[in-house]
Structures are given as C-alpha cells and as structure tokens.
Amino acid sequence: MGNVEVIDRAVLDSLLESVGGDGEFLAELLDTYYVDTPQQFAAMHEALDTGNTEDFRRAAHSLKSNSANFGAMGLSAKAKNLEEMGKTGRLEDAATHLEDAEAEYMEVKSALEMIQENG
Amino acid sequence: MVRKQAPGGHILVVDDNKINLMMLTRALREQGYQVTTAENGGEALEILFSPAAESIDVVLLDILMPDLDGYQVLERIKQREQLHHIPVIMISALDEIDSVIRCIEMGATDYLHKPYNPALLEARINASLADKRLRDLEIEYLEQVGHVVEAAESIESSAYDPECLDQVAGREDALGNLARVFQRMAAEIHLREQRLKQQLEQLRIDVEDMKKTMSEPLSVYIPMDRRQALVHGTTLPETTLGAALFVDVSGFTPLSETLAQQLGPKRGAEELTRILNQVYGVLIHVVHQYHGAVVGFSGDAITCYFEQDEGILAAACAIEMQKAMQQFSAVRTPDQNTFSLGVKISVVAGPMRRFLVGDPQIQNIEVLAGRTVDLLAAGEHLASRGEILVHQDITERNFELFITHEERVDPVSGDYFTILTGLQEHVAPQPWIELRKDVLRDEQCRPWLLPAVYEQSRSGAKGYLSEFRQGAAFFLSFTGIDYDQDEQAGVKLDRFTRWVQGVVAQYDGSLLQLTMGDKGSYLYAVFGAPVAHNDDALRAVYSSLALLDIPAEFGWIKQVKIGVTQGQMRTGSYGSSTRRTYGAQGEKVNLAARLMQVSDQGIICDRSIFQATQARLGYEELEPVSVKGVAEPVALFRPTGEKLRLERKRVSLIGRAVEQVELGRSLQSSRLGPSKTVLLEGEAGSGKTRLVEKFSSYSKEMQIPVLWSHPDLVAGKLPFHAWRSIFWQLYDLEAIGDDKGRLGRLVEHLNGAGGEKLQGADAVFIESILLGNQQIGDLKQDLEIPRQAVEILARLLKARIDSNPTAIIFEDAHELDAFSWELIQFVSSQVNHLVILVAFRPLTEPGSPALTQLVRSPNTALISLKGLSREEAYLLACEHLEAVSLPQEMVGVLDGASGNPRMIEEMVYIMRDDGYVEVVAGACHLLPHVDLDSIVFPTTPEGLIKSRLDRLTPSEQLTLKIASVIGEQFSLDVLTSLYPLDLDRPFIIKHLETFTNLDLVTSFGGNHTFTFNDEVTYQAVYNSMLFSQRRQLHRQLAEWIERNDLHDPPGDYALLAKHWRQADDTAKAIDYLEKAGQRALQQGDYELAERYFRECLELDATAAVLSTEFFKKKLQGENIQAD
C-alpha cells in the first residue's frame, strides 16, 4: 500500500520542471536513486559495525539530499537525523533509526514507482 | 600558446553523489557547456593533471567527498602552476558555510549550494568563465610581451630571428603595433649591419690590393724579357725573330659610364680600374705562362712578344686567353646589371725589331716594330670580340695543329688571317724562370718609370694608383723610319723620341707610350698627370706646336699629325701584379687618337682645348666629324698661331714733381762745391728706378758724367764691393788686360795726388778689394782692413775726379755693406763736386752709423717716396692703357694698390690682358658680365713677380729659365748658345727687352750682360723648373763651357764642377773639383783646396784619389790644418 504523503508531489513536479519536463531523464534519475539508496543503507550498516562515524555521516548526508530531491521529505528528515548522529558520534540509537529509515524508504520507493506508472 | 576554447566552455564537475552529478551535468549540457565528470577527488585530480586539463575552464567541486574531500582537491589544484588560474566553484550544503569560507580563502572562486538554483548556476558559471577568459587573455598578452622583450634582447646578442615576432605582429592592438614597429626597426638595423660588413670587406680588399701593389717591386714596370735580360746580364737583340700578340679588351666604355653614374666619378673610376686590373691580371698571367712578354700597353690593349716562337706558343696563349675571359662574360654592377667584357686577339710571327728608346733620365720606352708588327694591327682590325686572328704565315706552317674556321683578308696588304678556334694537341706552357722580388734594385728600374711616378711609388703615396682627373692629351703620329731595312732605325727612333720627351718635359708633360700601328708610329703624351697645372691645355698645344717644328737633324721624319684633347681621364698605374704601366685612359684620350687620324697634317684640337686656350691662341674651325661612340659630330679646331699679345707701354713719370725738382737742384749745386747726397727711399715698386733714370738723364743733360754702382754678385760680399764697379768705370780698368797693369794705374794716380806714398800693405789691400776674382771665402783670414782704407779709397776717387762734377748712383743700397756706407759718408764730406744718389728700400734693421751721419748732414737731401695720390694713380693707369678715362669700378679696384706704381701697373695689365676691360678709341670700359671684385691681385713682391712670369709666353719663360740656370748674371752669348730650339738671336733679344720692360732683368755692360733684378725674381724663375729640366740645362751649359773655354786662367773648374753637380753627373763634378783642388794646392791656397776636397767627399765618400793627394801634401811637411 503506497502512502502518497510520503512524497511531496510539489517537489517532484518542480524537479521535473527543472529538467525541462524530460520524463525519461527523471526515470534515469529515479533508477539511479533506486540503486544508490540501498548502497547508502549498506554503507551505514557497515559503518555501525566498524564504528566509522564519518562514513556513517556521509552516507546519511547523501541519502538526505537525494531523498529531498525527489520529494521524500519524511525520509530526508530521518536521514538528517542519522547525519546528526554521525556528526555528534552518538551511534548507540542509530540502529533503530536506521531500520526506521529503511522502512520509510520501502514506502517511498513504491510511491514513486506508482507515480511513475500513473504520471 | 592560445588555450583551446570549447564553445561555451568546458566544465569539470566533481561530486560523489551520482544523482547530483547527473543533474548538474544535464543542466550544464543544456546550457551549452561541455561537461566532464569525476565521482571523487582522486579521479578529479587525475583528470586535472592530464593534458585534458588544458581545455577545462571551470571546476565545480563538491566539498564533502570520501577520501579526498573538496578542500583537499582544491588545495592541490591551487598548488599547480598550470591549474592555478582555473576558477573553482565549490558545491556545498547550506550548513557547510565554514568549509566554504575555508575554501574561498584557499582560492575557490565562488560557491553554490545544494540543491542548486539553475539560474544561479548559470550566472556563477558565466562569471567564472568570463574571469577565466580575461585571465587567459592576460596570460597570452604577457606571453607575447615576453616575446617582444626576448626579441629586443636577441637583437643585442645578434641572434635575432625576424620571424619570431610574426604572431605578435598579427595582433591588431597596441602590442601588435609595437611588434610591427619593432620588426621594421630590427630589419633596418640588420640591413645596416650587413652594409657595414660589406663596406668593411671592401675596405679590407682595397687595403690588401694596395698593400699588394705597393709591395710590388718596381721591376713590374719592365717587360719580362727585358727584366730577365737585366738580371742575367744579357741584352735583347734589336733584330729578332718571334711571334707577336695583340689583345684588345672591349666592353669597357659602357661599363665605365655605368659605374661612374652609380658610384660617382671617383669610386666609379676605382671600381673600373679594379675590374680592368683583374682582367689584365688574368691575361698577363697567361702571357707569362707561355714565355711571352708584355712590351707595351695602348688604350685597353697590350702588345706581347714571344721571342723565337714561330707562333705556336702565341697561338696557345691566345686560346687560353679567350678561355680565361669567360669569367668576365657577366660582370655585375651595383645596380645588378651585367656587363660583358671580351677580347679580340691578333697573332703574327716573323722578323721584328725590338728597341729600347728614350732618355733614361726621363723614361725608357720599349718598342716592337717592323712590317710584321704592322700586320698585327691589320689583324686586329679584322677581328671581332671573342675571336683569335692568326696570320697566314703561321697557319700555313702549322695547319696540322691549328683548328681554324674562316679566313679574312686584309685589304691593304692582301694577306689573309685565319680564325683560330682550337688546337689539335695540347701545347704545354713554358713559364719564365721565377725571379726573386728584390732581384732588381729600385735605381735599376727607375728609368722605366716617369720620375714623378717613381717618387710617388717609392714614398708609398697612393695618389698614383688610380685617379679620375682633368688633363690634356695629344696623340702624335709620324712616318719616315723604315724599321725593317734601316740599320739606323733604332738610333733614329731613339733620338727622335728623346727630342720629343725633351720638348714635352719643358712644358711639364709626360710622354707615356710609343706604339707601332699599320698607318704609322704613334706616341701619346699627357699634361696634367702625374703633375697638374692650371694651364695644361695651353701646354699641350704649345708643345704640339713646338713638335711640328721638326729640327733639321730629323729631316727623315714625315707626316707629323697631332690630335689634342682635354677632359676627364683615368690616370694612374694599372696592369697586373707582374706587369704594370702608368698611363691615361678614357674617352678623351681615345678622341685624341681619333683626331690625330682625322688630321691630314698638322694639329687638330677638340672644343675643350679651343675654349681653354683661345685667349692666347688663334684658331680656325674645321668641319666636324663623326666619331664612333659619340652621338654628335665632334667640332674640330686648328691652331693658327699665337695671338698678338698686347704690349705694355713705357710710361712717363707720373707725379713725383717735387722729387724731380730736388734731384735737379742737387745736381745743380754740385757744380758749386760741397758734395750733395740724395737718399731716395721707397717701397719696392714705388718708382725709385724711374726717378733714378730721371736723375741719370738730368745728369746727361747737364753734361755731368754718371758712375753706376753695379751689383757685384760675388758670393759673400767683399767689403766696399759696391764701389768696385765705380772705380773700374772711373779708371777705365777694363781696358787694361791684367791686374798688374791695373794696380799700376791706380797707384800712379794715388801717388801723383800727393799725400803719403802708398805702403806695401795698402797696395795689397787695394789689390784684394778692387782687383782680382777672389771670393770672400778665398781671402786669407788675416786680411786686415787698414784703418785708413776709407781714406785711401777717397783719395783714389778724388785723384781721378779732380774738380769735375760727377754723379754716382747706388741702387738697391739696402744691400750695401757697412764699409761702402762709410765710404759714401766720408766721400760726401771730404770730396767736392759730387752728387751721390743712393736708392734703397725701407731698411728693416737700423742702418750703419755712417747712414745716420749722412741723414743728419745738411748736405743730404732725403726723399721718401710715398704712394701716388688718387689722381696720380688714375693718370698712371690711363697712361698705361692709353686711355683718357677709366670706368668707376676700376678706380675703386685700383685703390687697393695704395698708390704703388708697380702694383697699379700690374693690376691694370691684369684687367686688360685677362679680358676684364678694353680700350676702344681712347675710352676704357668694362667688358660685359665681368666682376672686377672677383680678380685676385697679387699683393706681395713675390706675387707680383709670379704674376708677370705667368704672363710670359712659354718660349719667353723658357728663355728666362735658361738664363737662370746660367746664373743670376748671364750673357747674351751663352744664352743664345744654350737655347734648345732653333731660335734666332733677334728673338732672344726681343725676349730680353720684354724682360727689361717687366723689370725682371736689367742689362749692363753694353746690353750683352744681364742680371736678374733681384734675388726673389731669380729664385722664382729657377725654382719654377722641374729638376729634370734643370739637370738637362746645367748639363748643356757645362758642355758648352767645356767647348768654349773663355776663362783666364783656362778652365774655371769650380764653375764647371758646380754645373756638373747640378746636372747630377757626380763623376764629372768630382773630376773638376779635384782639378780645382789641385790648382788651389799649387797656388798654396790650402783652405780653398780643402774646401774643394771636402765637397768631393760630400759627393762620393769613396773619392780615394784626392785623399791621397791631400795627405801627400801634408806628408811633405806643409803646415796644413789637418782634418
């Protein structure tokens, strides 16, 4: 079940506008998002394991800005939170928040896919 | 280096976020930029450090990246020189401001935050790009400025490459302009340097040439065969068998004109001579290789002789010459035109005459003559440039060897010549034995050079090498000597040549060459080189006129024809380093030859000569003729004789009325008793002589006898010398034959007059002073002037005069010795009835005490001649011109004479004779277009004399010169005998009249003996002769004296010695000096003898003979002062 509020349609529309309405390009971008995001999650998991706060922070940072690009504001906020943790170095609670973010991502993805299908 | 510009620009985007990268890239590409991406710092640096970085204009750099973050990448970029200037825009998140600041401090140009605003992105990128472009231009500009600076430096180090600034010069801005200007200037500097280098090179060549020529021995002026003969002590036979070759260079005339036009006359002539010498160098080298000798040069041709050759060597030589001339087939001139020089050659063989003629004191001339040689000229007429024409005799004998072409017939002789084109076999050269350069001494070679050229070449003066100067030339042709059949041909030619040389030398010209042609023999002479005068044209014509007057001894000379021209000629020494000559060449010289040919007999002159001499000579104009190479027909003139020269008038005494009265009065009063002395003082030319003459005529009118004091030119004047002639006149001592008798008469009168009888010593004194022929130096040192000398002489005077009024005249008394003055003063107070007139120039030193006493005496009248007044001057001038009035301008000019009558006279005659004024029907007026102020009048006595001398005709000048050789005093007899040209006595007498009128000489002793009026005149005349002339005349005089021994006792050896010495005949001079010394010894006059012997030793330090004589005498116990 896709929660449309997960994606802020306005942002996405604006993004489409900024690339000149090129739907194909947007699809390319989304494809890259779909590949990139899991990689970021993986990087964060690994960072937790190794205790590398910097790597953790950077991955969270990327997630944050990418998500915001596509209107996934909620996910973006969660990523920001994770970034903070990476900055301050308090990673004890990170694992939970990370799972939470991952879950949110599942919703984002399906929502985006649905939008792609339906326009 | 211009940076590659991508249209729009090339951007490197660095971001680890793929999506960002994709979006930025797309946005930038949409805006028209070229984009390269890098996903991390390392990749970015890889790209930036590669050559691809050249095209990158901007870098977009994400700050937050794994491994190398944006800051570090930026740092590395900024460290790299090449990348330093690339604008870097940092991409950051909003909360990374601190990092951004750090980056900007590090040198980032700008920043963009994520998510980016497309408009902002574009703006920022544009701005950076613009910056970068500016920066690129700046760098390029600085680079090119750097090129210009480098170029400037390279100019200084002579490494400049004109193309190095081509690119900069292409710019359209100020820098481009600077570069273009710089290029132009650099090019000019370069050119100038090249030219300087060329000039230096040419100078170096010139110096080398000069050194070579100057280091050449004088023997190069002698033909090789003669040279070898001199060295080996053999002689060249006059009758000989051999081959002759004539080679004529053509193509010089147009080349000469072009060079003169392009380089100016001087440099043009030098260049022409240089080329000419190169040609001669080549040709003469070949001649010497084939054992030939260059006998003579004529115009642009040479005549060569190959002794004992049947024509084979000569033919081989000719072939080689034509080959060698190939190198001159294209001579380049400065304006890049080419001229072609070539030669035509003619070869003959057979019997010939080989002579050496001429006066060795002037110049030896080499001659090749005979019918065979005449054929040489015939062959030359038939030849064209590039051809060799060989006479039939040679070809017939050698037809197997010669490769011939066609035949040509000489219309005159009927002989034919063949054109030689080659030889079947090689003929080996036969060079001469090499001679060392110094094998002949300069003195041995001297006779083959003109004296002036000899002097100049020895002193190293460059002047003789080549010059372009004004000169006059004549060509003289003659026939009458049969060179082949007449055994005396050589002697005749020699005598004739010597005579011509003599005549030419008298006019200061030089006989240059003697050539044999088919139409006669030619010689040519030049006036103006090596020595120049301002009347060379006149000299040329006068000498030609003199040469037409062939003396009887040359009766066999026929058909003398002369052509005379004046103009620019190339004079100087030319030829090769092994054979040279001195000559004059050029159009005008060729023209003289042509005029000579055109003349049927006598002299023909060109317009230049006519114009230069028509003031003195009359001419008739002849039909003009066409001459090859000259566009217009040439005007011809024949001289008809000397124009009648306006005479000078003997004028009456102008002014001086007061003075004349004084003279008359003095004469009158002498009858009464006490003697009167008149001291007449005046500048030279102030009219003293005229007044003295007046005095003399007054005396005659009053029947008072006059005694003149004659100049006594005894060297080292004796005391009382001025009185000698007076006593001789008074006592008529001339009539008595010997000194003994004369002394007797004197003593008789003296004793008869009462008073003390003459003592022995006094008699000796009188004898020495009044009689005998001794010179002051001959007197024994211990001659004492007796204290009563003056008294004795006064008594002598009184004894003869008794109470009869007598006038005594002393002229030129400024030369009187103190004793003579003393006697004058004594006599004027002690002897009555005398009138003594003493004329002198203003004394420069205080006079003797006697003079002072005289001046104070009441019986002395002092006349001091001042200048004439303006009116008197006017009258005098009018009298001279036989006019009643003068033009105003003349009066002004005459003021410059300051009333000096001689000066006025000279000025008046200069103005008349030089064509400034003329007198018609008693009125004198200026001629049109004259400017009296432009005349330079002589202002010194020497100048006046020179002016008069210059106005004499050449024959008059000659007479005067001969007179000066005889001495300051000369007799008509000797003068007439010495005159070289057949002139009648009346002619010479007329000359002497002219000289007397001109105050140059005075006669005394009944018009048979003359004397120069003063030392200045005498010296001026004597020094105006060339040494060679003087020598010749002295020799003639010495010979004459020997033949006509007039002296008593026989033989004035000293005089003969003097003349032989001046004639440069040391041997004879020594001989006579010895004799003079012997005689002196015999007479017991040891000092005199010593003097003569000393002079001997001066002349030749090895005069051993006389030394023995001298010492012999010494050994005989005579008490002589040893030396």
ipTM above 0.90, yes or no: no
Instruction: Give the minimum alpha-carbon distance from B19 to chain A in angstroms, rounded to a whole number.
Output: 6
How many Cβ atoms sit within 10 Å of the Cβ of residue B539? 20
Which of chain A's residues have a Cβ under 8 Å away from the Cβ of B20? Answer: 65-66
- Distance between CA atoms of B172 and B168, rounded to whole angstroms? 9
| Structure token digits, residue B235 | 């002689």
What single-letter amino acid sits at B1048?
Answer: D
| Structure token digits, residue B448 | 């083959």
What single-letter amino acid sits at B941?
Answer: P
User: Comparing C-alpha atoms, which of B965, B1041, B967 is closest to residue B715?
Assistant: B967
pLDDT, tens only, B244-297 = 999 999 888 788 878 878 877 777 777 888 888 889 999 999 999 999 999 999
Q: Are B107 and B74 in contact (CB under 8 A)?
A: yes
- B334 interfaces chain A, CB cutoff of 8 Å: no
- B1107 interfaces chain A, CB cutoff of 8 Å: no
- B26 interfaces chain A, CB cutoff of 8 Å: yes
Cα distances from B786 to residues B120, B721, B727, B761, B891, in angstroms, run: 143, 16, 19, 8, 57
Which of chain B's residues have a Cβ under 8 Å away from the Cβ of A68? Answer: 115
What single-letter amino acid sits at B690?
Answer: R
Which residues in A have their CB inside 8 Å of a CB on B? 18-20, 22, 25, 28-29, 32-33, 36, 55, 58, 61-62, 65-66, 68-69
User: Cα–chain-centroid distance for residue B414?
Assistant: 48
Nearest 5°: phi and psi at B610? -55, -50
Which of chain A's residues have a Cβ under 8 Å away from the Cβ of B66? Answer: 55, 58
Q: Are B209 and B352 in contact (CB under 8 A)?
A: no
Q: In the block, which residue shows the tokens 């340097």? A: B193
| Structure token digits, residue B786 | 């007796």
The residue of chain A with its CA nearest to that of B25 is: A19
- B31 interfaces chain A, CB cutoff of 8 Å: no
Nearest 5°: phi and psi at B578? -110, -10
Which of chain A's residues have a Cβ under 8 Å away from the Cβ of B16? Answer: 62
Q: Are B670 and B833 in contact (CB under 8 A)?
A: yes
B115·A19 Cβ contact <8 A? no
pLDDT, tens only, B967-1015 = 888 888 888 887 766 566 777 888 888 888 787 888 776 668 888 887 7
Which of chain B's residues have a Cβ under 8 Å away from the Cβ of A62? Answer: 16-17
- Distance between CA atoms of B383 and B408, rounded to whole angstroms? 9
B16·A62 Cβ contact <8 A? yes
B19 → closest Cβ in A33, A58, A61: A33
3-class secondary structure, B682: coil
- Distance between CA atoms of B1099 and B106, rounded to whole angstroms? 108
A65·B16 Cβ contact <8 A? no
Q: What pLDDT is stored for residue B525 in this prediction?
A: 95
- B380 interfaces chain A, CB cutoff of 8 Å: no
Which of chain A's residues have a Cβ under 8 Å away from the Cβ of B62? Answer: none
The residue of chain B with its CA nearest to that of A18 is: B118
DSSP B578: S
The residue of chain B with its CA nearest to that of A70 is: B19
Q: Are B563 and B599 in contact (CB under 8 A)?
A: yes
- Distance between CA atoms of B949 and A72, rounded to whole angstroms? 137
Within 8 A by CB and 6+ apart from B458, the residues are: B218, B442
The residue of chain A with its CA nearest to that of B17 is: A62
B30·A20 Cβ contact <8 A? yes
A61·B22 Cβ contact <8 A? no
Instruction: Find residue B706's DSSP bridge partners.
Output: B807
User: Comparing C-alpha atoms, which of B961, B972, B1080 is closest to residue B1029?
Assistant: B961
Long-range contacts of B710-716 (CB under 8 A, 24+ apart): B710/B1004, B711/B812, B711/B815, B711/B1011, B713/B967, B713/B968, B713/B969, B713/B1011, B714/B775, B714/B776, B715/B775, B715/B776, B715/B777, B716/B775, B716/B776, B716/B777
Nearest 5°: phi and psi at B413? -95, -20
- Distance between CA atoms of B1089 and B1092, rounded to whole angstroms? 5
- B32 interfaces chain A, CB cutoff of 8 Å: no
Low-confidence ranges of chain B (pLDDT < 70): 1-7, 94, 209-215, 459-466, 644-646, 711-718, 753-762, 768, 771-787, 980-984, 1005-1007, 1026, 1028, 1045-1051, 1101-1123
- Distance between CA atoms of B490 and B472, rounded to whole angstroms? 29
How many Cβ atoms sit within 10 Å of the Cβ of residue B787? 8
- Distance between CA atoms of B1024 and B856, rounded to whole angstroms? 45
A25·B114 Cβ contact <8 A? no
- Distance between CA atoms of B862 and B852, rounded to whole angstroms? 12
B115·A65 Cβ contact <8 A? yes
- Distance between CA atoms of B456 and B905, rounded to whole angstroms? 41
Q: What pLDDT is stored for residue A1 in this prediction?
A: 44
Beta strands in B921-1033 (DSSP E): 923-926, 969-971, 1001-1004, 1009-1012
- Distance between CA atoms of B986 and B979, rounded to whole angstroms? 13
A19·B27 Cβ contact <8 A? yes
Residue B510 CB burial class (10 angstroms; 0-12, 13-18, ≥19):
buried
A25 → closest Cβ in B16, B26, B115: B26
B19·A66 Cβ contact <8 A? yes
- B212 interfaces chain A, CB cutoff of 8 Å: no
User: Comparing C-alpha atoms, which of B612, B449, B448 is closest to residue B530?
Assistant: B449
The residue of chain A with its CA nearest to that of B18 is: A32
Q: What pLDDT is stored for residue B1121 in this prediction?
A: 44
A65 → closest Cβ in B30, B114, B118: B114
A69 → closest Cβ in B16, B93, B115: B115
B17 → closest Cβ in A20, A22, A65: A65
B1024-1062 per-residue burial string, b: 16 or more CB within 10 A, e: under 16: bbbebbbbbbbbbbbbebeeeeeeeeebbbbbbbbbbbb
**Measured torsion, CA atoms of residues B880, B884, B890, B891, in degrees rounded to the nearest 10:** 100
- Distance between CA atoms of B994 and B494, rounded to whole angstroms? 37
Residue in A24, A26, A29 to test binding to B, most B beta-carbons within 10 Å: A29
B17·A66 Cβ contact <8 A? yes
A66·B93 Cβ contact <8 A? no
Q: What is the helix (H) or strand (E) element at residue B38, kind and residue range?
A: strand B34-38
B23·A65 Cβ contact <8 A? no
Cα distances from B120 to residues B17, B115, B1015, in angstroms, run: 20, 11, 119
Q: Are A35 and A41 in contact (CB under 8 A)?
A: no
Side-chain-facing half-sphere of B1083: CA atoms under 13 Å: 15
Cα distances from B677 to residues B332, B809, B859, in angstroms, run: 85, 10, 6
User: Comparing C-alpha atoms, which of A58, A26, A106, A115 is closest to residue B69?
Assistant: A58
Q: What is the DSSP string of B701-749?
A: HTT--EEEE-----SSPPTTHHHHHHHHHHHTGGGS-SHHHHHHHHHHH
How many Cβ atoms sit within 10 Å of the Cβ of residue B763? 15
Instruction: Give the minimum alpha-carbon distance from A112 to chain B in angstroms, rounded to a whole number.
Output: 16
- Distance between CA atoms of A74 and B349, rounded to whole angstroms? 134
Which of chain A's residues have a Cβ under 8 Å away from the Cβ of B121? Answer: none
B19 → closest Cβ in A29, A58, A61: A29
Q: What pLDDT is stored for residue B753 in this prediction?
A: 61
| Structure token digits, residue B55 | 């095209």
Within 8 A by CB and 6+ apart from B129, the residues are: B9, B57, B58, B87
| Structure token digits, residue B1083 | 């007479």
How many CB pairs lie under 8 A apart between chains A and B? 39
Cα distances from A62 to residues B22, B38, B92, in angstroms, run: 14, 16, 12
Which of chain B's residues have a Cβ under 8 Å away from the Cβ of A66? Answer: 17, 19-20
Which of chain B's residues have a Cβ under 8 Å away from the Cβ of A75? Answer: none
How many Cβ atoms sit within 10 Å of the Cβ of residue A114? 12
B363-B366-B372 Cα angle (round to 5):
155
Nearest 5°: phi and psi at B604? -130, 135
- For residue B530, whether the previous peptide bond is cis, meaning omega lies within 30 degrees of 0, is yes
Per this entry, what is the length of chain B?
Answer: 1123
The residue of chain A with its CA nearest to that of B65 is: A58
